[in-house]
Amino acid sequence: MDEVVAFCGAVPSLEELCKEAEIAAPEDEDELWDLMVENDLFPTLPYWLEGNAAQHAIDNAISVIEQRFSKWLKPKL
């Protein structure tokens, strides 16, 4: 994973992002949408990450996987 220099992905739908972030209030959804527009990230459209941004995203993904599967990754005594 350390050798990845760039990758492409799709921005999740606004509904998926709000669900993941536990956002339910319409005004908070609007704020998220405004932030996405400011950063040229539109739901379901592709995006490109390079260099440090790509490595940061990979590190975050590894961290989430480790957290979700920690009970199976811990050695049994």
| Rounded-to-integer distance, Cα 54 and Cα 22, Å | 25
Q: Name the nearest CA neighbour of 68 among 20, 12, 19.
A: 20
Q: What is the pLDDT along the chain (77 residues), one digit of tens a residue?
A: 778 888 888 888 888 888 988 999 999 999 988 988 898 888 888 888 898 888 888 898 889 888 888 877 776 66
Within a 13 Å sphere around the CA of 17, how many CA atoms are in the beta-carbon half?
Answer: 17
DSSP 39: T
The pLDDT value recorded for residue 10 is 83
The pLDDT value recorded for residue 27 is 93
Query: What are the residues whose beta carbons fall under 8 Å from the beta carbon of 56, sequence distance 6 or more?
Result: none
Q: Please name the amino acid found at residue 21.
A: A
The pLDDT value recorded for residue 28 is 92
- Cα torsion at 31, 25, 18, 69 (round to 10°)? 130
